Amino acid sequence: MFTIEQILINLLQISCLLCRGATPFRQPLCQLCLAVCPDNQQACQCCGLPMMVSTRLMCGQCLNQPPVYQHCYSAFQYRFPVNHIIHRIKYSRQIALIKPLTASLAEVLRERYHQQPWPEAIIPVPLHKKRLQQRGYNQALLLAKALNRLLKDKSMVLDRGLVKRIRATQAQQQLKASERRRNIRGAFACNKTTAYQHVAVVDDVVTTGETVSELSRTLKKQGVKTIDVWCLARTPANLP
């Protein structure tokens, strides 16, 4: 039986935060906008880059030189309208948009880990305290919290205190690919020792992978053996 409150909520409609069309009260993005978001199902199972050939599990780059982390899983490609949505989350405080994108990512993860062990912990990419003060929130932490709620049956812990950002780096999106590794080098440190053997690093977008790679190096120095990267979107190789 539905309560009167539940019936009213189901009947109420709001404007989609992207196209301004009608959408149910608890769905900030309408089904049409979600449907046109480009998924990343056909991707390298190692670095997560979109691939043209669906029969291969790994791209040529990863076969020759695998990344520091073991897998990168994302729900979408970082193209319109996903790039527009994530920009609103990060810079326009429209954090309600995290929920529908995270639900899609959770579906991808359940499929990927169907016959594989889940990580022991979820580690959000930390912001430096100066950037956190400017923005007011860490979108990677909000994403990690949402995933933790959706995947609560998987017995993973959300560890927001294991890693800290010790350098106030320049924003990566302002740099060329060749400059990003130098910019992020030495940016992270662990606050404590850990017994984790398998963790998931969570960020909103992976572009060149330098940020999550540097964080992975920091974790591996602490003895973590397997690191998976979870992100809302992966930038195609032909984009900056």
Q: How does pLDDT run across 146-198, given as a tens digit for each residue?
A: 999 999 888 899 999 999 999 877 676 666 666 777 778 888 999 989 999 99
Indicate yes or no: pTM above 0.85.
yes
| CB-neighbour burial class of residue 103 (10 A; exposed 0-12, middle 13-18, buried 19+) | middle
Residue 23, in any domain of the structure: no
Residue 206, in any domain of the structure: yes
Residue 131, in any domain of the structure: yes
Coil, strand or helix at 156: coil
Number of domains observed in the structure of the chain = 1
d(CA 220, CA 156): 19
Residue 225, in any domain of the structure: yes
Residue 189, in any domain of the structure: yes
Residue 34, in any domain of the structure: no
pLDDT (0 to 100) of residue 153: 85
Could you tell me the CATH number of the domain that includes residue 57? 3.40.50
Residue 18, in any domain of the structure: no
Residue 95, in any domain of the structure: yes
- What is the domain range of residue 139? 40-234
pLDDT digits (tens, 9 = 90+) for 28-86: 788 888 888 999 989 998 999 998 766 568 888 999 999 999 999 999 999 999 999 99
d(CA 229, CA 84): 22
pLDDT (0 to 100) of residue 212: 96
